[in-house]
């Protein structure tokens, strides 16, 4: 090959590498730009519906009723001004005020409390004809590990903040040290929560004050209500569970659930793929009256098959029982 031909080939190779480098650089630049646009879109859709909650909480000490201020976050989920937040934010309160992102402050009334899911539904006090900006509830079952999410709220009472993270687990449950039973969480008021919940674990920063605020996907939909946070981990109540609570409250004004009276375990260690294992039966419960005993395998409820091979599926069994009339 002649010297001129070699030089031409070298120039062609350099041009090709330069073009490839330009393409990679452009793609790298486009990726954060696209992510920024998605974040801005999600922010603009949900941010106006975030509220800062201040509550006067009543408790008893040395035989006397005491009152103390507390705070948290919430999100408006209907144009009429219904707010979703945590029960541990609004429970046992004697007065609740909500500050909107516009700076306006409104009093709120309690529509319903649900300690079992650690959720409360409030209603902003305003002209009945007024319509509020509200955030849509998305499908939490569609979340995938690695998906970007925004945690919005009022950490450390710094109003209207947002942090970015990714979904780490879409069906987190807590078990005891020996991993032989699900552990429920005890709230400040002594109630327990978690029987029905498979938490969304994420790494968006959660601090005191974020409780009750929305976890938002990049479509601008609320996919969870933040509840817990520590050591770089956050946990949110799935929006699909929150939607069930909200719809029942809006329809009936209260929470009603079926109760069977059993505790159950997964069947994987029995070599089974179907059913749930009854570990205990409460005295006088519907289960005892029906003759169900510890060690039995429940295969269906109300004609619908129930399966729990692993602990992560136990809350789905309890949700099915809770849905019974």
Q: Annotated active-site positions, please?
A: 88, 118, 211
Q: Are 272 and 297 in contact (CB under 8 A)?
A: yes
Distance of alpha carbon 236 from alpha carbon 223, whole angstroms: 9
Tokens linked to 87: 């029960």
- How far, in Å, CA of 240 to CA of 106, rounded? 28
Residue 116 neighbours by CB under 8 Å, 6+ apart: 191, 192, 193, 195, 196, 255, 257
Spatial separation of the C-alpha atoms in residues 73 and 212, rounded to whole Å: 5
Q: Which of 103, 107, 229 is nearest to 165 (CA)?
A: 229
Distance CA 92, CA 84 (A): 16
Range list of β-strands (E), 173-275: 185-186, 192-193, 199-202, 214-217, 222-230, 233-238, 262-265
Q: 210-244 burial by CB neighbour count: b if 16+ within 10 A, else e?
A: bbbbbbbbbebbbbbbbbbbeeebbbbbbbbbbbb
60/21 Cα distance (integer angstroms): 68
Contact criterion met (CB below 8 Å) for 121 and 246: yes
Task: Tell me which DSSP letter residue 257 carries.
Answer: -
């Amino acid at each position: 090959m002649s010297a001129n031909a070699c030089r031409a080939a070298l120039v062609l190779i350099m041009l090709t590498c330069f073009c490839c480098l330009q393409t990679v650089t452009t793609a790298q630049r486009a990726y954060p730009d696209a992510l920024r646009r998605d974040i801005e879109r999600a922010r603009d859709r949900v941010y106006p519906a975030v509220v800062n909650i201040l509550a006067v909480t009543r408790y008893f000490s040395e035989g006397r009723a005491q009152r103390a201020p507390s705070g948290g976050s919430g999100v408006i989920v209907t144009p009429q001004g219904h707010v979703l937040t945590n029960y541990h934010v609004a429970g046992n309160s004697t007065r609740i005020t909500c500050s909107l992102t516009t700076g306006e402050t409104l009093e709120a009334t309690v529509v319903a409390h649900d300690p079992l899911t650690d959720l409360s539904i409030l209603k902003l006090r305003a002209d009945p004809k007024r319509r509020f900006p509200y955030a849509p509830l998305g499908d939490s079952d569609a979340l995938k590990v690695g998906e970007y999410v925004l945690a919005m709220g009022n950490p450390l009472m710094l109003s209207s903040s947002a942090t970015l993270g990714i979904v780490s687990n879409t069906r987190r449950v807590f078990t005891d040290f020996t991993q032989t039973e699900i552990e429920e969480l005890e709230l400040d008021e002594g109630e327990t929560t978690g029987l029905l919940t498979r938490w969304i674990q994420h790494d968006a920063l959660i601090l005191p004050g974020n409780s009750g605020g929305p976890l938002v996907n990049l479509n601008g939909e609320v996919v969870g209500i933040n509840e817990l946070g520590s050591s770089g981990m956050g946990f949110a109540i799935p929006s699909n569970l929150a939607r069930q609570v909200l719809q029942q409250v809006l329809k009936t004004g209260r929470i009603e659930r079926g109760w069977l009276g059993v505790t159950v375990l997964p069947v994987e260690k029995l070599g089974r793929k179907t059913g749930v294992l009854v570990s205990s039966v409460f005295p006088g419960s519907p289960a005892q009256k029906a003759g169900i005993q510890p060690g039995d395998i429940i295969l269906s409820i109300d004609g619908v098959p129930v399966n729990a091979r692993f602990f992560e599926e136990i809350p789905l069994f309890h949700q099915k029982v809770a849905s019974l009339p």
